[in-house]
Amino acid sequence: MNIHKGKIMLVFPSGAKVKNTAELLEGDYEDGRRTVIFKDLDDVKSREKLLQNVIREWLSLVEKD
């Protein structure tokens, strides 16, 4: 997690493996990482279910590696 002025960034090191149907993950980094950027806590809460789904899928993929 990176906290910057005006935003919170979650970094998924192998996020490119996640099928991002919710378009929550951003970025196209060569190393496969993807990020989720939130404006504030209200933004996190409004996308909580989407984030939970991405985290679950990402963790299931990480456990297979």
Residue-range domain boundaries for the chain: 2-64
Q: Which 8-state DSSP code applies to residue 45?
A: H
- 3 state SS of 14: coil
The answer on pLDDT for 4 being more than 90 is no
Judge whether 36 and 25 are in contact, CB under 8 Å.
yes
Nearest to 7 by CA among 29, 47, 27, 36: 36
* Mean pLDDT on 7-17: 90
CA end-to-end distance (rounded Å), the chain: 22
* Mean pLDDT on 19-47: 89
**Token pair for 3:** 């906290």
* Mean pLDDT on 38-60: 92
- C-alpha 25/C-alpha 54 separation (Å) is 8
pLDDT of residue 47: 94
- What is the pTM (predicted TM-score) of this model? 0.80
pLDDT of residue 6: 84
